[in-house]
Amino acid sequence: MIDILIPTIFRAHYLADLIVNIAGTTEGAHRTIFVADEEDHETIDELQSLGAGYVVAPGPLPRAMNAGFRAGAGDLVLATNDDVYFHAGWLEAAERAFEDPSVMVVGTRDLTPISENGDHTTQPIMRRAYVEDPGAVWGETGTIYWEGYHHGWVETELWQLACHRGVARFVPECVIEHRHPDWGTRPPDATDQRGNMQGKAEDSASFQNRRHEWMTCPV
C-alpha cells in the first residue's frame, strides 16, 4: 500500500484531472491524501465535491507534507506535488526496486534535466519505516521534510541524505512528470511565486549547513 501525498494550494482547477490521471496509471493498492491550506476554501470545496481524501493544515510545504504523512498508514509513501502527471507503470517500477530490503528511498524521474541522471529527484518514494527511524531528514525522526525550510531544498536534503546513507536507488522507469514553468511545461502562477521565492537564500544556507553536519557525523 502506498500513500500518495499531494500538498495543494490555489490550484483547485488541477485536481479533477490529477485524480483521473492517478486512477488511470496506478495499478497497485494506493491511497491519495491531499493536503489543503486552511485559508484556501476554494480547494477544500473542490476536494469535497470530488469526494477526495484530504486533510487541512497550514503551510508552508514542509509542514503540509508532514501533516499528510501523519494522516497515512501505507508501507510506502510518495511525496509529490499537484503539478505532476503520472506515467503508466510508475508504481510497479518502484515496487520492484523495493523488493531489495536495503532500498529505503526510490528516486523517480520527473522528465526534467535535474533528475535525468539520478543526482536529484523531486518526487521521492520512501518506506514509512525509514521515515519513522532513522528519519528522512537529518537529525529527526517521523518527518519527510525538515520544517526549518520555507520551500526549497526539501527533497534535495531527503535524497542526498539517503544517498549518503547508501539506501537510495534511482529508478528511471518510475516516471512522475513534474510540469513546471522552469521547464516550459506549464505557465507560471501565483502558487509558484508564493513557494519558490519565499526564503530562497535562507533555505540555501540552511541546506549547506545541514549537509556539512551529516557529511561529517556518523549517520
Instruction: Identify the domain containing residue 156 by its residue range.
Output: 2-216
Q: Return the minimum-mean-pLDDT range out of 48-57, 119-128, 193-202.
A: 193-202
CATH of residue 74's domain is 3.90.550.10
Over residues 154-163, the mean pLDDT reads 96
Q: What is the 3-state secondary structure (H, E, C) of 77-145?
A: EEECCCCEEECCCHHHHHHHHHCCCCCCEEEEECCCHHHCCCCCCCCCEEEHHHHHCCCCCCCCCCCCC
How many domains, the chain? 1
pLDDT tier for residue 190 given thresholds of 50, 70 and 90: low
Asked whether residue 87 carries a pLDDT value surpassing 80, the answer given is yes
Q: Tell me the angle at which helices 61-71 and 154-165 cross, rounded to the nearest 10 degrees.
A: 60
Asked whether residue 164 carries a pLDDT value surpassing 60, the answer given is yes
Q: What share of the chain is helix, strand, coil (3-state, %, to 5)?
A: 40, 20, 40
pLDDT tier for residue 181 given thresholds of 50, 70 and 90: low
Nearest partner of 79 among 157, 188, 196, 163, judged by Cα = 157
What are the residues whose beta carbons fall under 8 Å from the beta carbon of 88, sequence distance 6 or more?
24, 25
Over residues 22-28, the mean pLDDT reads 94
Asked whether residue 213 carries a pLDDT value surpassing 80, the answer given is yes
